[in-house]
Structure 1
Amino acid sequence: MIRESLELCDNILLVGPARLPTRYGPFRIYAFQCPFTGEDHVALVKGQIARREDVLVRLHSECVTGDVFGSERCDCGAQLDAALTKLGKAPRGALLYLAQEGRGIGIANKVAAYHLQDHGLDTVDANRVLGFPADLRTYKCAACVLRVLGVKSIRLMTNNPAKIEQLESYGVRVSSRIPLQVPATAANIRYLRTKKSRLAHLLETPVVNGPRARRGSGRR
């Protein structure tokens, strides 16, 4: 078991690994704690990633409404499922599950933002009314974990260019971006269009079609 402070990345604490069999395939699970934020995060690792180039990676911010309850207000749950499916088919890779609920504002403020959205504001303006920036997340701790795990370069599953910019600013080499766009629903089409138009996410223009629209996860 690894349980040690690592001065290289502000004394980040890494605990694990332990085996984690899942419906997507077998992973190793680590917990990691960032003393400069007080947050506890999780890493799922498949195969041997130390000293490897072009490792498939997803940074996924916690979304209890989408990931746990299946909310279709956002695309988070669907993105998590898609990322784990891709990792399950890959020879190696990692998913870092980051405790940054509601793009970093926390669950209570996220619910307050939902209330404002129910009354006409979009996800960006709702955050600002509550006194927050559009996106409060940081990926410094994630960059540290990738370094500690020995990854040399990554293929990042994301639609968000800010993730790439932050990781590279912390010394992570991103060799390529893997798009992770999932089908829109009637419940999240406005949210997805806001991410494209106001948060500069690299999305094809979201449209609603097919069975999911008739039933009709935020990522961010």
Structure 2
Amino acid sequence: MLFGRPGEALRVEVERAISEFRAGRPVLLRDRGELGLVLSAELADGELVQRLDRLAGGSGHLVLTPARLRRLGAKGRSEPGVFALPALDLDRVACLAFRLDSRMDAPIAPASALDSAALELARLSLVLPAALVVPVSAEAVAGETLVAAEIAAVNAYRAEQAASLTIVGRAPVPLEGAPETEFVVFRGGEGLRDQVAIIVGKPDLAAPVPVRLHSACLTGDLFGSLKCDCGDQLRETVQWMAENEGGILLYLDQEGRGNGISNKMRAYKLQSQGWDTYEADEVLGFDLDQRHFDFAATMLKQLGVSRVIALTNNPQKIGAIAAAGLEVAASQRVLGRPNAHNVRYLASKRDRAGHLIDMDALMARAAPKD
């Protein structure tokens, strides 16, 4: 390889594949001798689909996640599956993949490794997790200007991004109530995005360091949305660290529990119609939580942290930190403020995802003081 580092070619293929998939263009996935053209079901264009249909010869299919299949009526489904598409009918695709009141209209076939990689490509691209797949031969696509990627490289991409995190900038950024604060920017972690560590004060790295893994929430963190408690948790954590000998907040680009801002807004629309936060995500094809925290542990290790006090209500974050080789010396709850708009959301996190939320304590916090 003339340009680039040794072994980087496969990663470059995946990054190009993410860009193509997110733009609504087909990507050629390879699994040994098997080839398949994959296309985002959300972004499928009628004229393009007609051309794919001619290639498919009746062999095309729609790949859906376990969550969406459960919503269609496949109770207890834990593996992705496919619906055969004798013709690439976009109305049928939309009905199975996206419509609220849809039910299964045909048997579900098992997903192949290539099918599952198509769903992973959709997740990496932050589009809805549903993909059209057309098996093809090398002869059928010869001469086409297609971006191609190995499915093994697609499946390994997240872990490789976590392992290749690098610090690309750091500077003091005084904050209101926390004037001694430094921002450290890392490149990588999730796709082609940057991650930020906010070091508040001068935490003692020889002792357990108070740490919060905070997933970005545009609506709550920046605009003060009443639908969640994210903004409260962010600002109160920084304030607590400033008043208690420092700590580190990792601000992770994982909007909407890893689903992306567009899908988060789709979920919010469903919530306005009566679904709870997790039901809304399931309708869209997402499981309880799409986030990964292995790269957060890599960030902490690069900052010299080996032991943490986890500031979180989420047992998944505590487990992820420990699984990545850091010692969790203790954990501490982070309370937001309940209100009429977020109390159902908070109860759902407690009941559906096991978050350690004491609703009585929250309501007492919100009660007017005498």
When normalised by structure 1's length, the TM-score is 0.87
Note if 1:101 corresponds to 2:255: yes
Residue equivalent to 2:186:
32
Aligned CA distance change for structure 1 residues 52 and 208 (closer, same or farther; 3 Å)? closer
**Paired position in structure 2 for 1:160:** 314
Q: What is the alpha-carbon distance in structure 2 between the residues aligned to residue 173 and residue 113 of structure 1?
A: 35
1:14 alignment counterpart: 167
Is the 1:185–1:213 contact (alpha carbons within 8 Å) kept by the matching residues of 2? no
| Larger RCO (alpha carbons 8 Å, 6+ apart) | 1
SS in structure 2 opposite 1:114? helix
Q: Residue 132 of structure 1 corresponds to which residue in structure 2?
A: 286
Gaps of 5+ in 1: 1-6, 215-220
Q: Which residue of 1 aligns with 2:272?
A: 118
Three-state SS of the structure 2 residue aligned to 1:22 is coil
What residue in structure 2 maps to residue 217 of structure 1? none
Give the distance between the partners of 2:303 and 2:203, measured in 1 at CA. 7
Amino acid across the alignment from 1:57: V
> Gaps spanning 5+ residues in structure 2: where?
1-159
C-alpha displacement of 1:167 = 1.1
The residue identity in structure 2 corresponding to 1:184 is P
| CA shift for structure 1 position 13 | 1.4
For the 8 Å contact 1:185–1:208, the answer to whether it is kept is no
CA distance in 2 between partners of 1:28 and 1:67 (Å): 19
2:189 and 2:314 map into 1 onto residues whose CA distance is: 26
Q: CA RMSD in A?
A: 2.2
Larger Rg: 2
Give 1:212 deviation, angstroms.
6.1
For 2:363 and 2:163, locate their aligned partners in 1 and report how far apart those are by CA, in whole Å.
47
Q: Counterpart of 2:264 in 1: which secondary structure?
A: helix
Aligned residue-pair number? 207
| Partner Cα separation in structure 2 for residue 148 and residue 162 of structure 1 | 22
The answer to whether the Cα contact below 8 Å between 1:49 and 1:151 also exists between their aligned partners in 2 is no
* 1:174 and 2:338 aligned: no
1:19 to 1:148, Cα distance in 2 relative to 1, 3 A: same
Residue-by-residue CA offset, 1:165-217 (whole Å, 9 max, x unaligned): 11111111111001112221111000000000001000112588589689xxx
Task: Give 1:95's aligned amino acid.
Answer: L
Q: Which residue of 2 aligns with 1:58?
A: 212
- Normalised by the length of structure 2, the TM-score is 0.53
| Alpha carbons 2:193, 2:253 under 8 Å: kept | yes
Aligned CA distance change for structure 1 residues 207 and 180 (closer, same or farther; 3 Å): closer
Query: For residue 167 of structure 1, what is the amino acid of its counterpart?
Result: I
1:197 maps to amino acid: D
Contact 1:30/1:43 (8 A) holds in 2: yes
Q: Which has the higher strand share?
A: 1
2:210–2:246 CA contact under 8 A, matched in 1 = yes
Question: 1:141–1:80: structure 2 CA closer, same or farther, 3 Å change rule?
Answer: same
Quick one: which of 301, 304, 323 aligns to 1:150? 304
Q: Residues 42, 208 of structure 1: CA spacing in aligned structure 2 closer, same or farther, 3 A cutoff?
A: closer
The residue that corresponds to 2:62 in the other structure is none
